[in-house]
Structure 1
Amino acid sequence: MNIPAALAWVLILAGVWALLVWAPHLVRVSKDPRSKDEKGAMTRYFTMEFMKASTSMILGIATLVIGVRGLAG
């Protein structure tokens, strides 16, 4: 992959940022009382937050990989 080093670093930082922000968010959401109903089943709140966080983390990993491959040449 042929991208400038500065752009590769931006992609790496964006990927790391996504993981640093969304992973703790997912942990907080799992402990939130709104995440489970009276019976202990997961709620829509948890499902939506899980989907949002997991999608962002997957895209963050992809961005990180693209940045690392861009630096590697």
Structure 2
Amino acid sequence: MQLPLALSIVLVIAGLWTLIVWPPFLRRVFKDPRSKDENGAPTRFLKVHFMLVTTSMILGAATLVIGIRTLAA
């Protein structure tokens, strides 16, 4: 795949940004009192945020790989 250098760099930066920013957010969500109910079971708050972070990180990793592959092409 051929992309201009600037676009490839944008993809790499966007992928790295996603992989750097989301893990600390998820750690804060796990520590949030809304994450567990009185019995210690995960709440909808935790499940929704976990899926949001997981999906974002998968897309971020894919973006990073695409950016690196276009730089190498």
TM-score by length of 1: 0.96
Moved over 3 A (4+): none
Q: What does residue 28 of structure 1 align with?
A: 28
Offset of 1:20 from its aligned partner?
A: 1.3
Aligned residues: 73
Structure 2 gaps, min length 5: none
Offset of 1:15 from its aligned partner?
A: 0.4
| Percentage identity across paired residues of the two chains | 62
TM-score by length of 2: 0.96
Structure 1 gaps, min length 5: none
Query: SS of the residue aligned with 1:37?
Result: coil
Query: SS of the residue aligned with 2:2?
Result: coil
The aligned runs of 1:32-43 (5 Å cut-off) are 32-43=32-43
Q: What does residue 19 of structure 1 align with?
A: 19
Offset of 1:19 from its aligned partner?
A: 1.1
Offset of 1:5 from its aligned partner?
A: 1.1
CA RMSD, Structure 1 to Structure 2 (Å): 0.6
The AA in structure 2 aligned to 1:61 is: A
Q: Does 1:64 align with 2:64?
A: yes
State the distance in 1 between where 2:4 and 2:10 align: 10
Q: Deviations over 1:22-43 (max 9, x none)?
A: 1111111011111000101000
Q: What does residue 46 of structure 2 align with?
A: 46
